[in-house]
Structure 1
């Protein structure tokens, strides 16, 4: 089984059985031709559709930000588009912490899938490279020293609970070419943003190469390619197939997270990522109230909760909300979703 963390591609998890070349090659073809894409920090709706009937989409106000006019200014949404438009906004720090939290949640899901099925997982970026964005934003002055400290308090309290990837693929693109591809893609908030300067992207490249790759390389296998003119996906796949992930013994530092001594330890890890995701996510609750831009005052918090939890689909548990078309509520039994990421 192989675990791959990739820098460029789309935000998806793909499970591919070992040796499933027919499936893995098209996926890599799509991902390796991605252009340093940005991703939206969105939280999915809390209400799932009934399988046997058509009903409104789960709380469309979340994705459309229609609640923002009603919410206090300090509780409104802030995503990558907002960051590109106004990088000096006070929400920049909480935005990046949320991105780390979302990547952490997805990584747990991927670990659970791998340990339950034995299938490899391909991820675009992961929790281990998230600090690159934090450091780049901090150096550019978009994140304060206090918020920087809070991030690392959270990072250090959470990261050791996970298992590092087997393989990291890094697609190297020169900064001028990255800027050109941003222009070619012609997404208005990216093209017109003052964020993606040569200095900002050069700093990001530095933190990738001088910190992330050096640190993750002590544990994981690395494949680095010059992707200026894209590359041959067949060559990448052949390089992956040549790697022997079983060659490392107990004295090697590489793959150390995957050298559990006995079957019961593997069972414990599988149960942790499958059943105790909520416990792992509680590790984000660090009591730091000394950074104003990360703290919502009591009045705003009360107003936010009142509006948020009375919006369509949010008042009751999923599939128990009349305003979403749910019926037969009196006699309906609750289905517990252990893999919910909410």
Structure 2
């Protein structure tokens, strides 16, 4: 049975994948317990997206190499423009969005490790490609959260990287011999059937930091697993950005490029954004009907996750039926995972019989 790149183990009565949705609180039963969501009836009764859109109702992706300063720039831009800042998704994005008190073990978060990748990128167990595939799925889910927020509130969102730029890591891994050609083919197939369901960012801000400077900053970070990131790997990421991603995204989105020093001048970046006319890209072709369908997809996290599943055997991301069964019951045995949220006595839920 193929190992899905999103969490396989769903609690009875609800999806554990529904990132960004608060758990239902325990309460006395006074009516049918239903979570109000946007749907066909809301649209039929007159709810529209375009009236709430403003000048800064945009998706902005801040991209760059590791330790390039993109995170600091993204957060400052969000503060200046009144937009929502979403930090870069990591291995535990699902846990953060579903409100876990502590991150669940890696067995329930992709069965992959970022630390292991940097210390042993050619590990024989296929960790490198599992990590890459899992991170693509997390970025796709986060991007759906960004789209949902934009269309629901009108507030723009600033992200660190996006599923559109995720390919730079795949390219670098393959060039360095960390993954096989079959993994690249699998990734391309997954991306082709999933990324087409979403519109690209309105704007990509690229922070251009030389690989040598990036390596120096990584060694000063204090994280042991980042001390020996190969310079060639960092150069491959930089090259993929400049030769593959940026030329392609420029055809359908605005692009602003700054070196590491220029990126620290937030006022200048804000001024440059204000001068952009945003006269290209598929966002210009949208109307309330297409926004409606886009919002319906974005709020259905299980449907978004399923976009990354194809029935193909690949040793790096495939587990047997017995292993799957073992992990499934291990997940269900965790506190609060046996039943739907609010109905688990082992998690301290009260008055269960009155709900």
Same fold (TM over 0.5): yes
Matches within 5 A, 1:126-275: 126-191=162-227, 193=228, 196-228=229-261, 231-245=264-278, 248=279, 254-260=280-286, 262-274=287-299
Deviation at 1:330, TM superposition (A): 1.5
Question: 2:344 corresponds to which residue?
Answer: 321
Contact conserved, 1:13 with 1:110, CA < 8 A, in 2?
Answer: no
| Structure 2: tracts of 5 or more residues without a match | 1-56, 64-69
Distance in 2 separating the partners of 1:293 and 1:221: 36
- Among 123, 132, 138, the alignment partner of 1:102 is 138
User: Taking CA–CA contacts closer than 8 Å with sequence separation of 6 or more, which of the two structures ends up with the larger relative contact order?
Assistant: 2
Query: Residues 172 and 227 of structure 1 are in contact (CA less than 8 Å); yes or no, is this contact kept in structure 2?
Result: yes
Runs ≥4 in structure 1, deviation > 4 angstroms? 10-16, 46-49
Equivalent residues in 2 for 1:298-337 (5 A)? 298-332=321-355
Q: Summarize the Cα distance change of 1:22–1:213 in structure 2 as closer, same or farther, 3 Å threshold.
A: closer
Does 2:150 match 1:79?
Answer: no
Matched, 1:3 2:59: yes
Q: Compared with structure 1, are the counterparts of its residues 174 and 48 closer, same or farther at alpha carbon in structure 2 (3 Å cutoff)?
A: closer
RMSD over aligned Cα atoms: 3.0
Kindly provide the CA deviation profile for residues 210-267 of structure 1, in whole angstroms up to 9, marking residues without a partner as x: 000000000111110011575311111111111122xx3xxxxx2124312x432332
> How far apart in 1 are the matches of 2:72 and 2:268?
20
Q: Secondary structure at the match of 1:234?
A: helix
Cα gap change, 1:330 to 1:48, in 2 (>3 Å): farther
Q: Is the 8 Å Cα contact of residues 147 and 294 (structure 1) preserved in structure 2?
A: no
Deviation at 1:108, TM superposition (A): 0.7
TM-score by length of structure 2 reads 0.74
Give the Å deviation of 1:171: 0.5
Aligned length: 291
Q: 1:27 to 1:98 in 2, by over 3 A?
A: closer
Q: In structure 1, what is the Cα distance between the partners aligned to 2:127 and 2:297?
A: 32
TM-score by length of 1: 0.76
The 1:284–1:44 alpha-carbon spacing in structure 2 relative to 1, beyond 3 Å, is: closer
Which runs of 5 or more structure 1 residues have no equivalent in the other structure?
Answer: 32-37, 50-56, 249-253, 333-342
Query: Is residue 2:274 matched to residue 1:288?
Result: no
Q: Does 1:42 align with 2:42?
A: no
